[in-house]
Amino acid sequence: MTKGIIKLDQTETLKNNLSNTVNTIKNLSKADFVMSGETVQSAVCGKAQINNQDYIYIESAKRFKLYTEQSDLIYVLSGNGFIKWSRGEKVFSSGDLLLFNNVAEYELNGRSVFIVLKI
């Protein structure tokens, strides 16, 4: 797979290959996560393990940095903003499902709630 950020609604083949994971991530809510008592980068965070996969819940007030060596699947539960990474910026909004492939460090900007799955 090539390096970059892909909106899954634009690539049906990829979406079909991840269909079970996509269904799981879209049906999660804050209640499914064990929340941390402390903030991380000014964000409220939680973790859940479902079907042997680790999901991260992030309520970001402004900006949240992440790093991936392989791929991250991110579902935007609410909010909007933009993603900043080494090759530019990409706008996101509530309901977007994004695949980050080999992008290394990236930053989610905007008051939003995300669910992240490292795949």
Q: In the 8-state DSSP scheme, what is residue 75?
A: E
More confident of the two residues 44 and 37 = 44
Mean pLDDT on 28-42:
89
pLDDT tens digits, one per residue of 47-83: 999 888 889 999 988 899 999 888 888 999 999 999 9
- Return the H-helix or E-strand segment holding 103: none
Q: What's the total number of domains in the chain?
A: 1
What are φ and ψ of residue 92, in 5° steps? Answer: -135, 160
Q: How far apart are CA 62 and CA 31, in angstroms?
A: 22
Q: CATH number, domain at 58?
A: 2.60.120.10
pTM value?
0.81
> Average model confidence (pLDDT) for the chain?
84
Range of the domain at 9: 4-118
**Rounded (to 5) percent helix, strand, coil in the chain:** 15, 60, 25
